[in-house]
Amino acid sequence: MEKNSSFCFSNLSSNLPITCLITFITIFLHRVLNVIYRTGKPLGKRVSPQRPLSTLIVLGSGGHTAEMINLLLVLRKERFTPRFYIAAATDNMSLQKARVLENSLADSSETKGLSAEFMQIYRSREVGQSYVTFVWTTLVAMAHALWLMIKIRPQVVLCNGPGTCIPLCVIAFFFKVVGIRWSSIFYVESIARVKGLSLSGLLLYKLRIADQFFVQWPQLQRKYPRAHM
Amino acid sequence: MGEARDGVKVKRVVFVTVGTTCFDALVKVADSQEVKDELYRRGYTDLLIQMGRGSYLPTKSTGDDGSLAVDYFTFSSSIADHLRSASLVISHAGSGSIFETLQLGKPLIVVVNEDLMDNHQSELAEELAERKHLYCARPLTLHQTIASMDLNSLVPYSPGDATPVAKLINRFLGFPEES
C-alpha cells in the first residue's frame, strides 16, 4: 500500500513538467487560435478618431517602394503617427525616397518631421549568398527584427512584398498572441504579381497573418477570394 | 514628326534601360546592326543605352555617317530625365521602369530577361501588352517588334489609384469616412 502510494507520487512528480508543458501549449494554442479568429475582423468605430496609430512601414526596393509611397500619399498622416520606416540594410535608395516624402510633408503642413523614424534591418539572405551561412544570418536577422519590433511595437503594419516583411509580420503576430501589442497588418501585393502571389504574400495569406490582404489584378482575386481589390 | 520646322532632322532618342540589373542580352541586341538599322529606318536618330551592371560594352558612334548615333552609360541618378527626352523607351521588365515610362506617356517596348530564375516579371509585361499599353519582346524578337510596331495603336496608361486601398484600411481601423 505504502509502496504503491509513493510510486504514485513519484509518477505524478515526474509527470509534473509534462503536465505544465501540455497546459502551456494548450493555452498558447488557444491564444493562437483566438488571434487567428480575431485577425481580419475590423476594429470597429474608434472611440476617439483623433487618436493616431503608430505605424510600421516596410519598404522593399524599386517598384515596391514606389507603390508604397503611392499608398502613403493618400493616407491621412495625422492618423498614422508616428511612422517607422524599415528597409533592408543593403538598400539605401528606399529610405532616401521615404525621407523625401516625409520632408515634403513637413514642408507642406505643420506636422513635424519628428513623427517619422527610419531604420535598416539585416536581411536573412542576400541574393547570391551561400546556404552555409544562411542559418547564422537568419538567426541574426530574426534577433535584429525582434529588437526593432520591441522598440516600435506598432499598431499598424503596412507592407507590400519584400522578404524583409516576413520576420516583422511574424513577430507582430507573436506580439498579438502573447498580448504585448495588438496590431493590424495590411499587405498589398505588388502590381507586378498578375497570375500568382509572391512568396511573402502567399505566406501571409495562407497563415492568415495579414488582417487585410490586397491584390491589384482581378485574376488574382479570383484565385485568392479573401483578398481585396 | 522627325522633321523640324527648318527641315533639319531633330533628335529622336531611343533610350534603352536595364535598371540596376545585369541584362547583357538586351544591351547586346540593342547594339546589333539589325536593330540599329531598323531603328534608323523608323526615323530614330540616337540610341542611348543605360547598361547597369552588365559587362558588354556597345560600340559608340557619333552617327555622322548617316547612321544611328550610339552612346551608353552604366548608372545615372537622372533616369527620369532620359526617359522624358526619349521618343521610344526599350526597358527591362522591372515594374519601376515600366510604370515610370508609362506615366510619362512614352512608347515602350519591354524586353523580358529569359535568364532570370523567378520570371514573374514577364507576367506584368505580358498583361500590359495584352491591354495594349506597351509592346513585349524577348531579346531575339526585339528586331521584329521594332519593325512591326504601330505606336499609334498603343493605349495610354492611366495610373492605378491607391485610394480604394486607403479607404478599406481606414474603415478597418475604424476611422471615420473621408468626406
Q: What is the pLDDT along chain B (179 residues), one digit of tens a residue?
A: 444 445 456 899 999 999 888 899 999 999 999 999 999 999 999 999 999 999 999 999 998 878 899 999 999 888 899 999 999 999 999 888 999 999 999 999 999 998 876 667 789 999 999 999 999 999 999 999 999 999 999 999 988 789 999 999 999 999 987 64
**Nearest-CA residue of chain B relative to A155?**
B173
CB-CB under 8 Å, A79 with B175: yes
Interacting residues of A17 by C-beta distance below 8 A, sequence separation 6+: none
Alpha-carbon distance of B70 to B47, in angstroms, equals 5
| Candidate from A45, A73, A229 with C-beta closest to B174 | A45
What the block records as the C-alpha cell of A8 is 504514485
In a mutational test of the B interface, the residue from A38, A73, A75 whose CB has the highest number of chain B CBs within 10 Å is: A75
| Candidate from B95, B123, B172 with C-beta closest to A43 | B172
ipTM confidence: 0.85
- Selection from A51, A42, A104 nearest residue A81 by Cα: A51
| Candidate from B19, B124, B173 with C-beta closest to A156 | B173
Output the pLDDT for position B90: 97
> Does residue B83 contact residue B100 with C-beta atoms inside 8 Å?
yes
How far away is chain B from the Cα of A217, in angstroms, using its nearest Cα? Answer: 10
Alpha-carbon distance of B43 to B12, in angstroms, equals 7
A113: pLDDT strictly greater than 90:
no
Alpha-carbon distance of A174 to A178, in angstroms, equals 6
Q: Is the dihedral of CA B136, B157, B85, B76 positive or negative?
A: negative
**Nearest-CA residue of chain A relative to B98?**
A63
> Does residue A84 contact residue A54 with C-beta atoms inside 8 Å?
yes
CB-CB under 8 Å, B96 with A49: no
Cβ of residue B168 closer than 8 Å to a chain A Cβ: yes
CB-CB under 8 Å, A49 with B175: yes
Cβ of residue B175 closer than 8 Å to a chain A Cβ: yes
Contacts with B161 from chain A: Cβ below 8 Å: 74
> Does residue B145 contact residue B26 with C-beta atoms inside 8 Å?
no
The highest-level CATH class for domain A55-223 is alpha beta
How far away is chain B from the Cα of A91, in angstroms, using its nearest Cα? Answer: 12
Output the pLDDT for position B117: 63
Contacts with B53 from chain A: Cβ below 8 Å: none
| Strands of B82-137, DSSP E | 86-91, 108-111, 135-137
Output the pLDDT for position A215: 95
Q: What is the mean pLDDT of chain A?
A: 86
Q: Which CATH architecture has domain B13-173?
A: 3-Layer(aba) Sandwich (3.40)
> Does residue A192 contact residue A100 with C-beta atoms inside 8 Å?
no
Domain boundaries in chain A?
A: 1-38, 55-223
Output the pLDDT for position B4: 45
Contacts with B164 from chain A: Cβ below 8 Å: 229
